[in-house]
Structure 1
Amino acid sequence: MFAVVAALAVVLAMVSCSSDDDSDASRAVSAFADAISRQDTQGAADLTTSPSQAAELLGVTFAGMHPREVSVDTGRLVEYSDGSASFTLTTTWNWAGDRSFQTKTSGSARRLSSGWKVQWDPGLLYTGLTPDGRLQEVRTDATPAPVVRSASGKPFMQMEPVNEITIDPAATKDLDKSVRALANAVAPVAPMVTVKSIDDKLAASQGRQVVAVTLRDSDMQMLTSDPARIAGVNVNKSGMLVMTDRRLSTPLSAGLTNYWNAIRDATAGWQVQLVAPGAPPQKLAGHQGGAGPDIVTTIDPNEQLTLGDAAVEVAQPATIMTLDAATGAIRGMAQNDAAAAKNIEAGIAYPVGSTLDPVFDAIAAEGKGADQHSAESVLHSLGLGLQFTVPGMSLPSGTAPKVSAAAYHPKDYTASMINMAALGVALERAGGDRTAAPPFVIKGSKTKVTGGQLGKLDDGVVRRIQASMTTTAKTGDASDLTRAPGLKALVGTNGPQGPGWFVGSQGGKIIVIYCEGDKSGTAALQVAQKYFTLK
């Protein structure tokens, strides 16, 4: 009987009633909760019994969850006479888009010589979380990924597994040796990845890890040595939108990839995961919608291949684009390495020099150049002096074509390849009440036109321009071109150092060529001849 009474007395001595909000224990737990809410890793860790362990896991958790906001509410706290206390936490993680994840956990606190401290336990963040585990919020993408299709509906670009081969200067004792070894390892499939190209990337990264090259799985199988065995080199598996036909290359791929990424972003889902070593991530919360639609373009792969072969006809920077004359649909675009190195863009306005003289002459001859407003109205109807935002096409901002105050023959007039393309299409669509058709590359999309309007075409101006273009093709600068029956062309340069232009209409297509450098007008004609020979 005495033993039972004694045991009961011990139990009663250990129990206390709920603590009020002003107790030391309550204030310690509230301070811990507030620090978590502020995402103050060290502040929260210092309020626990194991600051170093707490700081490590809290840091990993905040980084993995990357919340916009965290709110932590403390529940009923009970103090015991042995210097301990118990409490509950309700933690809500919030992200943009009304995404949230809530956990309810329990913990304990202890009164130490330094004051009350929260007993550190990973379970404070999520019940069942271990010291070597973590919580993370990740993006999820619907499957299958959208396919970028050609005009015929066949895959033009699609997501494929790739291998990002990176090199980290901090992870190798002999960086020069690692760079040489990496360049040699990938040489069989990526000869353009040289010691110099890798060194240039490393120099620009200022000591950070860089991606030396990205290879498809089929390329990796052709390597005679494993890059991952090189000090400082890692091979990371991922997915990337790539050309279905590896023979093809086009500046259009950047804009199409951006458009594809926008669809992926719009259909992306999310997950909160519990991650532990040696086990697959466990989904705790999240949502994933349906897959996004495929992207159907106006690109003709055979035309794109021809354009690529034509662009490399000259060594100086050369870019070529073709469009359907009736609709403005872009059939393809290509440029050589020299143009790519100079970042030649279809939306950048470049000097036209004498190229548009027949246009200005026609405007003046028809009496439309009496004042700048009238002249610009005609130019706008032809697609000149405007800016085009083409969905699926990477066009830099701040590149508005420049128009001189001299409306008859502007000496400093500039135009982009898109302007020239719109001009070619407008001239072929003239007649009746038809207006110019802005270029486009994604079927069903609408090109935005700013800076003016594509109004009704002036038949008199159009007839004069077409007559000049026919003369240029028959007896003028483009008369030496062969295998181009019915060609009409504008040809010109901005002086001996260029740039040089060719804008042609032939066989239901508009051909726009832009070249830079010495004798660039001749170079543009060389590219045009190569195109007509191959098509």
Structure 2
Amino acid sequence: MKLGVAIVAVSGLVWATTACSSGPTETETAAQQFADALTQRNAQAAAALTSDPAAASAAITQLFDGLAPQDATFTVASTDSDKGTFTLAADWTLGAAPTTAATSAGPAPTTAPTTTPSPQPPEKWNYTTTGGGQVVADGGKIPWDAQLLAPGLTADTTLRYTTLSGGSPKVLADNGSPLMAEQTVTLVNVDPAKTPDPAATAGALAPLLTPVAPTVTAASLQSDITGAQGKTVTTITLRDADVAPIAERLAAVPGVTLVKQTRLLTVDKATSSPALDGLRELWQQGQDASAGWAVQLVHADGSADKVVGRDGTAAPDIASTLDPAVQTAAQAAIATLPQQAAVVAIRPSTGALLAVAQNDPANAQGPIALTGLYPPGSTFKTVTTSAALQQGSVTPDTVLPCPGTANIEGRTIPNDDKFDLGAVPLHTAFARSCNTTMGQLAVAMPPTALHDAALQFGLGVDYVTPGLTTVTGSVPAADTPAERVESAIGQGQVTASPFGMAMVAASIARGSTPLPMLVAGKPGVANATPTPAPAVVTEQLRTMMRETVTAGTATQLADIPDLRGKTGTAEFGDNTSAHGWFVGVDGDVAFAVFVAGANSSAPAVDAAGRFLRPIQPVLPR
């Protein structure tokens, strides 16, 4: 944007020149040196050319600090040696340069990180100023005037660049209710330099903060203060409702200051999900893209006038697919488990993420619900059974042996507690989770059979989804019969995330793999689109999953009408511990429940019951 402002030169004596010289005049030399020093952001060198180096250095330093430009170029537009004046042309490029956003903690994502844009394209601010006039006797210094730097600048004013929001959009739940909104928070800061007795300050703060944040103690606060190495530390960030009753008492504690900020927060304080991080990033990107900007002239009293800029526009609300009732139920189902636990729920008909929940132990490890990779254990028998049925060598009614243990390709495969069913139909072996049956089925499969069948259910497919960083899992080709035996029961090199197993359940329910979606109308893009499993096979799987609930390993959930599922226990590490899984379909909800180190599927099955029973009246069917 061109701002054609010229500062009229102070009248005075002509700069001394040598009439017969063919080189640059003193005016031209001084002007060029001044312009070059400003372009190089060398405040000291530029200031040394003026009649008041101290004032000039302070003003130039503040100018660049306040505008924080990507680039700034000063050129000499013209000189008048007779009058001793010169005109500078300033060309500023303002606004933050684009940066690559960091991904959340956890396993390396398979999707590329997003780029957070700067507020619109870089802003341009161009203007001219005129300086010069009477020469100071000692060396021909440029008479100092703050308006040499920018139009309207004085000794008592400063300039700053700022972004202008066009409004504060909300993040909405799937029912249109606000899920997140920008709110005021208060940072409770402690300055160690103003805290003569850290123990006393911690002791005074703890009883005020513990009712709001039970994990905050006098010991943890004292550790934070002493560990800050003299720097101000934020002990906690409080919402308005939490800080209001204790604000005066907090402010009275030695060394404590209360600082207000605005942040995008969940409307319901209890709502927590790793999916919210992606929604916050999208919200910020919308704010950045719609933001305006201004260069402001700031007066000594703090008031400011806009010199140049553009108003922001209102960014649209973000319509998420998260269902508050389903999310709340998922959180509550795993909240009290001592192990890391996660629940992911997807609507098979659309791919909409209804809930992504983790408990506190899981949150400490990062977004394991979306990117954590673990052996899926017997939940992978959905894939193994699909592969066997597609080969045509068995049907659900084919009678197969289910011994308590079996030596298959040199690997001793036991059933859970070595139960022995004798010879049973495949559907019974599936419902009762016979490892020995599944291992024997896999021996005769081609090396890529399980890999290909997994892809049909979205496991091993990568998705680039707005607001989500996800990993589904990995099912490598099993070149040897022994490797296929391990893979068949969800062990060996097979891994899956809770999100990945929820996608498997959604694919079985739908008959094809849906594209995951966190923002309404913006489904993910898959890096592969395998042909779905035959419809007859997925229907047979749904029937067997129903039998798992009515007469198999998940009968404790038999009271939930039409629930279909598959339990899973997966050894890890030195095989002395095991993760617990349950994946299922209830109406138009497919889900996976994961409990790390549970040593059986029972905690995951119980959590599934706590998740599903409260929301039966509102579950999409």
Q: TM-score, normalised by structure 2?
A: 0.75
Change (3 A) 1:105 1:194: farther
Paired residue secondary structure (2:176): coil
Task: Give the count of matched residue pairs.
Answer: 513
Matched, 1:513 2:512: no
Residue equivalent to 1:106: 130
Residue equivalent to 1:5: none
- Render the CA deviation track for 1:400-438: whole Å, top value 9, x for unaligned: 5352534565222001122111111111112xxxx2212
Paired residue secondary structure (1:157): strand
Matched, 1:252 2:252: no
| Structure 1 residue 219: Cα displacement | 2.1
Paired residue secondary structure (2:214): coil
1:481 pairs, out of 553, 557, 568, with 557
The whole-number CA distance in structure 2 between the counterparts of 1:179 and 1:89 is: 56
Preserved contact between residue 329 and residue 612 of structure 2 (Cα < 8 Å): no
Residue equivalent to 1:217: 240
| Structure 1 residue 46: Cα displacement | 2.7
Preserved contact between residue 142 and residue 267 of structure 1 (Cα < 8 Å): yes
Preserved contact between residue 296 and residue 307 of structure 2 (Cα < 8 Å): yes
The whole-number CA distance in structure 1 between the counterparts of 2:63 and 2:194 is: 25
Preserved contact between residue 378 and residue 458 of structure 1 (Cα < 8 Å): no
Preserved contact between residue 14 and residue 84 of structure 2 (Cα < 8 Å): no
Query: Which amino acid counterpart does residue 212 of structure 1 have in structure 2?
Result: T
Query: Which amino acid counterpart does residue 507 of structure 2 have in structure 1?
Result: A
Comparing 416-425 and 219-228, the one that deviates more: 219-228
1:115 pairs, out of 139, 144, 151, with 139
Change (3 A) 1:489 1:153: same
Change (3 A) 1:181 1:520: farther
Paired residue secondary structure (1:499): strand
Query: Which amino acid counterpart does residue 498 of structure 1 have in structure 2?
Result: A
Query: Which amino acid counterpart does residue 415 of structure 1 have in structure 2?
Result: A
Residue equivalent to 2:150: 126
Q: How does 1:136-535 map to 2 (within 5 A)?
A: 136-143=160-167, 145-170=168-193, 172-198=195-221, 208-223=231-246, 225-343=248-366, 344-367=368-391, 370-395=445-470, 401-405=474-478, 406=483, 409-410=486-487, 411-430=492-511, 435-450=512-527, 452-495=528-571, 496-519=576-599, 521-535=601-615
Paired-residue identity, %: 29
Residue equivalent to 1:4: none
Q: Which runs of 5+ in 1 are unaligned?
A: 1-11
Change (3 A) 1:518 1:446: closer
Paired residue secondary structure (1:225): helix
The whole-number CA distance in structure 2 between the counterparts of 1:419 and 1:395 is: 8
| Structure 1 residue 340: Cα displacement | 1.0
Change (3 A) 1:353 1:199: farther
Paired residue secondary structure (1:391): coil
Query: Which amino acid counterpart does residue 293 of structure 1 have in structure 2?
Result: P
Preserved contact between residue 68 and residue 94 of structure 1 (Cα < 8 Å): yes
The whole-number CA distance in structure 2 between the counterparts of 1:197 and 1:461 is: 56
Q: Which runs of 5+ in 2 are unaligned?
A: 1-10, 96-120, 393-441, 616-621
Query: Which amino acid counterpart does residue 444 of structure 1 have in structure 2?
Result: G
The whole-number CA distance in structure 2 between the counterparts of 1:41 and 1:172 is: 37
Change (3 A) 1:120 1:521: farther
Query: Which amino acid counterpart does residue 484 of structure 1 have in structure 2?
Result: I
- Render the CA deviation track for 1:42-64: whole Å, top value 9, x for unaligned: 22223333333322222222111
Preserved contact between residue 308 and residue 335 of structure 1 (Cα < 8 Å): yes
Query: Which amino acid counterpart does residue 286 of structure 1 have in structure 2?
Result: G
Preserved contact between residue 313 and residue 527 of structure 1 (Cα < 8 Å): no
The whole-number CA distance in structure 2 between the counterparts of 1:232 and 1:194 is: 17
Comparing 148-157 and 118-127, the one that deviates more: 118-127
The whole-number CA distance in structure 2 between the counterparts of 1:16 and 1:58 is: 24
Paired residue secondary structure (2:66): helix
Change (3 A) 1:116 1:220: same
Preserved contact between residue 165 and residue 313 of structure 2 (Cα < 8 Å): no
2:67 pairs, out of 65, 68, 90, with 65
Change (3 A) 1:196 1:324: farther
- Render the CA deviation track for 1:358-396: whole Å, top value 9, x for unaligned: 421331343287434454332212111112233223447
Change (3 A) 1:60 1:188: farther
Matched, 1:39 2:38: no
Residue equivalent to 2:30: 28
Comparing 250-259 and 18-27, the one that deviates more: 18-27
Change (3 A) 1:126 1:182: farther
Preserved contact between residue 275 and residue 281 of structure 1 (Cα < 8 Å): yes
The whole-number CA distance in structure 1 between the counterparts of 2:541 and 2:356 is: 25
Comparing 195-204 and 400-409, the one that deviates more: 195-204
Query: Which amino acid counterpart does residue 380 of structure 1 have in structure 2?
Result: L
The whole-number CA distance in structure 2 between the counterparts of 1:515 and 1:160 is: 34
| Structure 1 residue 167: Cα displacement | 3.3
The whole-number CA distance in structure 1 between the counterparts of 2:354 and 2:292 is: 34
Cα root mean square deviation, aligned: 3.0
